[in-house]
A and B are shown apart, each in its own frame.
Chain A
Amino acid sequence: MTWLLVIVGAAVGAPLRYLTDRAVQARHDSVFPWGTFVVNAAGSLLLGALTGAAATTDTYALLGTGLCGALTTYSTFSYETLRLAERGWRFLAAANVAASVLVGLGAVFLGAGLTGGTLA
């Protein structure tokens, strides 16, 4: 049952990442991967909020493990960082790593704060 909730959440989260990535790129033409940056930050904010709210097992499976897990991605983040570095945009590659991690962590704390919970 819980497994089904993960599947349903991910079945929405993965296409949502793809469509959000497209929408961001369509509005902001850049070699910097803003689309992936935005979905990773947004997913971290939502997962921080769910963690802070001490969501039930089912809610966490659907929206956390499923939706946020598939909305965010480490594989896309790492390959695009490699590509930036290989194309000579070493500063953008380093900035992508630093900004994604720092904003991701900030988003988690913000999300947890918004739901009034604690992460520990």
Chain B
Amino acid sequence: MSERPEAIDPDVDLHVPDQRAETVGGAKWPVLAVISAGGALGASARYGLALAWPVPVGGFPWSTLAINVLGCALIGVLMPLISEGGRRAHHLVRPFLGVGVLGGFTTFSTYAVEVSRLLARQQAGLAMAYAAGTLLGALGAVSLAATATRRALAARTGAEYGVRTP
């Protein structure tokens, strides 16, 4: 049996046959609908957090940093649960939670504009700190969350088969 190809791109990866097929014919409408609904939910949460935690002009954009790092931690939990190691979930879970909610919650464009605005205001140090801080926070969060989730899943699988895990 050949190994099932695993996605690199969690939004959609055409190397994965199930994902390639999910826009064929009428199947695409529920997929697009849950992505749309999830995106609206995620963006609403981001908008709400930005309103609750406003950043003054020239200030460090803490709210966007927190949103992006949190969203990266959550996708690091989600993807091992629903797609790695041959695990499967309902076919609308990834489109709704991964593509929609987390994709709508996190934002690259706001991050890029905030770095650019700090640069344009000659606040190079703050711009660099924010640019690098978000990158390190996001990549660290996704890596730690994915590792912890995979370990938890492996421990549970091991327990089911009566294997003791350290």
Contacts and interface: CB of A to CB of B under 8 A. Distances in A.
Contacts of A80: 8-10
B143 A82 contact: yes
B23 A119 contact: no
A75 B72 contact: yes
A13 B105 CA distance: 12
Given A40-B109, A70-B39, A74-B111, 10 more contacts: A18-B32, A47-B109, A74-B108, A76-B99, A76-B102, A78-B138, A79-B72, A79-B76, A108-B109, A108-B113
Contacts, number: 218
Contacts of A109: 116
A44 to B, nearest CB: 4
Contact-residue bracket for chain A: 35 or more
Dominant secondary structure at the B interface: helix
A12 interface: yes
Contact of A73 (B95, B106, B143): B106
B14 A11 contact: no
Contact-residue bracket for chain B: 35 or more
Given A17-B103, A74-B106, A10 B40 contact: yes
B109 A76 contact: no
B28 to A, nearest CB: 9
Contacts of A6: 43-44, 47
A72 B107 contact: yes
B61 interface: no
Interface of B: 6-14, 23, 31-32, 35-40, 42-44, 46-47, 50, 68, 71-72, 74-76, 79, 95, 98-100, 102-113, 115-117, 119-121, 131, 134-135, 138-139, 141-143, 146
Nearest to B67: A74
Contacts of A14: 35-36, 38-40, 42-43, 99-100, 103-104
Contacts of B6: 83
B39 A75 contact: no
A47 to B, nearest CB: 4
Contact of B43 (A10, A47, A97): A10
